[in-house]
Amino acid sequence: MEKMELRYLKRLAELYPTIAKASTEIINLQSILNLPKGTEHFITDIHGEYEAFSHVLRNGSGAVKKKINDVFGHTLSHADKKALATLIYYPREKMDLIKKTEPNMEDWYKITLYRLIEVCKQVASKYTRSKVRKALPLDFSYVIEELITEKSEVLDKEAYYNSIVDTIISIGRSEEFIEALCELIQRLVIDRLHVLGDIYDRGPGPHLIMDKLMEYHSLDIQWGNHDVVWMGAAAGQPACIATVIRNSVRYGNLDILEDGYGINLLPLATFALETYKDDPCGIFRTKNSDMVSGRENELNVRMHKAITIIQFKLEGQMINKHPCFGMQERHLMGMINYENGTVELNGKEYKLRDTNFPTVDPKDPYTLTEGEQLVMDRLVTAFQQCEKLQKHMLLLLNKGSLYKVFNNNLLYHGCVPLDENGDFLKVNVYGQTYSGKELYDVLEAYVRMAFFSLDEEEREKGRDIMWFIWSNKNSPLFGKEKMATFERYYIEEEETHAEKKNPYYRLLEQEEIVNKILKEFGLEADDAHIVNGHVPVKQKKGESPVKCSGKLLIIDGGFSKAYQKQTGIAGYTLIYNSYGMMLVAHEPFTSTEDAIIRETDIHSDRIMVKMTPRRMLVGDTDTGRELKERIEELKELLKAYRRGVIIEGR
Task: Please give the average per-residue pLDDT across 131-141, as a whole number.
Answer: 90
pLDDT at 605: 66
pLDDT at 84: 94
pLDDT > 90: what percent of the chain? 76
Torsion over CA: 58, 60, 62, 64 (sign): negative
Task: Please give the average per-residue pLDDT across 120-138, as a whole number.
Answer: 90
Q: What is d(CA 607, CA 135) in angstroms, rounded to the nearest whole number?
A: 30
Question: For the chain, how many residues are written?
Answer: 650
| Confidence at 650, pLDDT banded by 50, 70, 90 | low
Q: What is d(CA 545, CA 49) in angstroms, rounded to the nearest whole number?
A: 21
Choose among 542, 483, 505: nearest CA to 226. 483
In whole angstroms, how far apart are CA 420 and each of 93, 501, 506, 542, 554?
A: 54, 11, 9, 25, 21
| Confidence at 607, pLDDT banded by 50, 70, 90 | confident
As a whole number, the mean pLDDT across the chain is 91
Is 589 within 8 Å of 579 (Cβ atoms)?
no
Helix, strand, coil shares of the chain, percent, nearest 5, are 55, 10, 30
Q: What is d(CA 119, CA 291) in angstroms, rounded to the nearest whole number?
A: 44
pLDDT at 160: 81
- Provide the Cα torsion 414, 417, 418, 420; round to 10°: 90
C-alpha R_g of the chain: 28
Question: What pTM value is reported for the model?
Answer: 0.93
Task: Please give the average per-residue pLDDT across 459-463, as a whole number.
Answer: 98
Task: Please give the average per-residue pLDDT across 567-579, as a whole number.
Answer: 77
More confident residue, 556 or 447: 447
Q: Decide if pLDDT at 434 tops 70.
A: yes
Is 132 within 8 Å of 38 (Cβ atoms)?
no
Q: What is d(CA 400, CA 394) in angstroms, rounded to the nearest whole number?
A: 9
Name the region of 251 (left: φ>0; alpha: ψ -120 to 50; beta: rest). alpha
| Confidence at 567, pLDDT banded by 50, 70, 90 | very low
Task: Please give the average per-residue pLDDT across 555-564, as a whole number.
Answer: 63
Task: Please give the average per-residue pLDDT across 22-27, as a whole number.
Answer: 95
Q: pLDDT of 224-279, one tens digit each?
A: 999 999 999 999 999 999 999 999 999 999 999 999 999 999 999 999 999 999 99
Q: Decide if pLDDT at 16 tops 90.
A: yes
Kindly list the strands in the beta sheet with 572-577, ordered across the sheet, starting from the edge strand earlier in the chain: 400-401, 219-222, 192-195, 40-43, 572-577, 580-586, 604-611
pLDDT at 151: 62
Q: Decide if pLDDT at 568 tops 50.
A: no
pLDDT > 70: what percent of the chain? 94
Q: Decide if pLDDT at 367 tops 90.
A: yes
DSSP state for residue 92 in the 8-state scheme: H
Q: Decide if pLDDT at 456 tops 60.
A: yes
- Of the listed ranges 257-271, 344-358, 460-474, 521-535, the least confidently predicted one is 521-535
DSSP string over 340-362: TTEEEETTEEEEBS----TT-BT
pLDDT at 138: 87
Q: pLDDT of 612-639, one tens digit each?
A: 889 999 999 999 999 999 999 999 999 9
Q: What is d(CA 533, CA 45) in angstroms, rounded to the nearest whole number?
A: 7
Task: Please give the average per-residue pLDDT across 136-145, as a whole number.
Answer: 89
Q: Decide if pLDDT at 599 tops 50.
A: yes
Q: What is d(CA 315, CA 307) in angstroms, rounded to the nearest whole number?
A: 12
pLDDT at 288: 75
Is 127 within 8 Å of 32 (Cβ atoms)?
no
Helix intervals (H) in 344-479: 370-384, 387-399, 436-452, 456-471
Residue 405 parent element (H or E): strand 403-406
Q: Decide if pLDDT at 497 tops 50.
A: yes
Task: Please give the average per-residue pLDDT across 316-329, as a whole number.
Answer: 96
Maximum mean pLDDT: which of 467-471, 586-590, 613-617: 467-471
More confident residue, 480 or 159: 480
pLDDT at 566: 54
Q: What is d(CA 209, CA 207) in angstroms, rounded to the nearest whole number?
A: 5
Q: pLDDT of 179-229, one tens digit each?
A: 999 999 999 999 999 999 999 999 999 999 999 999 999 999 999 999 999
Residues 6+ apart with CB under 8 A from 620: 37
pLDDT at 81: 92
3-state secondary structure of 648: coil
| Confidence at 291, pLDDT banded by 50, 70, 90 | confident
